[in-house]
Amino acid sequence: MKLITLDSVVPEIFAKRKDLRSDIWLAPVTFERGKRYLVEAASGSGKSSLCSFLYGQRGDYRGRISFDGDDISRFGRGRWCDVRRRELSMLFQELRLFPELTAWENVQIKNRIENTQSDSTIESWFEALGIADKRKARVALMSYGQQQRVALMRALCQPFDFLLLDEPVSHLDEENGRLMCEIILQEASRRGAGIISTSIGRHLDMEYDKVLSL
């Protein structure tokens, strides 16, 4: 997938609002593979809605979203399954980890779908992010910041053309945010993938090709 285009897209609940000032809603937007985008948003401006629309979780919007020209509202289950395995990776704001599995298992449950990363690579991430000792700990027993790092590693365990990051550093200190940023840039540039990151305050510290305000 090379292009994600939004054409006059607006969430149903905003459709009747007259005072909408946004770089994204009701505007023509194009995300290109290989480029980095930051979507800055105030709380309640529909940031999570945007991610849900792009990831096929929700369809309550007007307008048209297309991947390489294909209208995603026509995608069936099988197509979404393929998109989520190989084209689009998502770091959920609510993480969506499995609390009863260990940190290692949470990463592997994704990695085993396409066998993308070697065990040693994942181990090196655990080391780099400072949670090597938590590999066998159940996720339920970890802090939110630690969970956020596990969720990021999971998001990198698949092939992707775009990486969607929904508030990736909300619970991380600067140092951990920097470490995370390094790994993300490394994996994204290895694949030539685009990055779409959202933020309501703190954001990943990297050079963005474009900053859009929602």
In angstroms, what is the minimal distance from the CB of 96 to other proteins? 5
Least separation in angstroms between residue 86's CB and other proteins is 8
Beta carbons within 10 angstroms of residue 127's beta carbon: 12
Single out the segment in contact with other proteins by CB under 8 A; choices: 1-9, 62-70, 84-92, 121-129: 84-92
Stretch that binds other proteins, among 21-29, 39-47, 89-97, 126-134 (CB under 8 A): 89-97
Q: How far is the CB of 160 from other proteins (least distance, A)?
A: 11
Dist CA 91 CA 183 (whole Å): 14
User: Contacts for 123-132 with beta carbons within 8 Å, 24 or more apart?
Assistant: 125/153, 125/156, 125/183, 126/153, 128/179, 128/182, 128/183, 129/153, 129/176, 129/179, 129/180, 129/183, 130/176, 130/179, 131/103
Is position 101 an interface residue for other proteins (rule: CB under 8 A)? yes
Nearer to other proteins, 4 or 212 (CB): 4
Q: How many residues contact other proteins, by CB under 8 A?
A: 25
Find out whether 92 and 151 touch, Cβ atoms under 8 Å: yes
d(CA 12, CA 25): 11
Instruction: Kindly state whether residue 85 participates in binding other proteins, applying the rule CB under 8 A.
Output: yes
Question: Residue 157 phi/psi, 5° resolution?
Answer: -90, 45
Give the sign of the dihedral formed by CA 81, CA 82, CA 86, CA 87.
negative
Stretch that binds other proteins, among 16-24, 83-91, 116-124, 199-207 (CB under 8 A): 83-91
Between residues 30 and 73, which has the closer beta carbon with respect to other proteins? 73
For position 158 contacting other proteins by CB under 8 A, the verdict is yes
**How far is Cα 39 from Cα 102, in angstroms, rounded to an integer?**
32
Does residue 84 bind other proteins (CB under 8 A)? yes
Rounded distance, CA 114 to CA 143, Å? Answer: 28
The contact mask relative to other proteins for 32-71 (x = CB under 8 A, - = no) is -----------------------xxxxxx-----------
- Least Cβ distance, residue 81 to other proteins (angstroms): 5
Q: Give the other-Cβ count within 10 Å of 111's Cβ.
A: 20
Give contact residues for other proteins (rule: CB under 8 A): 55-60, 77-78, 81, 84-85, 90, 92, 96, 98, 100-101, 105, 108-110, 112-113, 154, 158
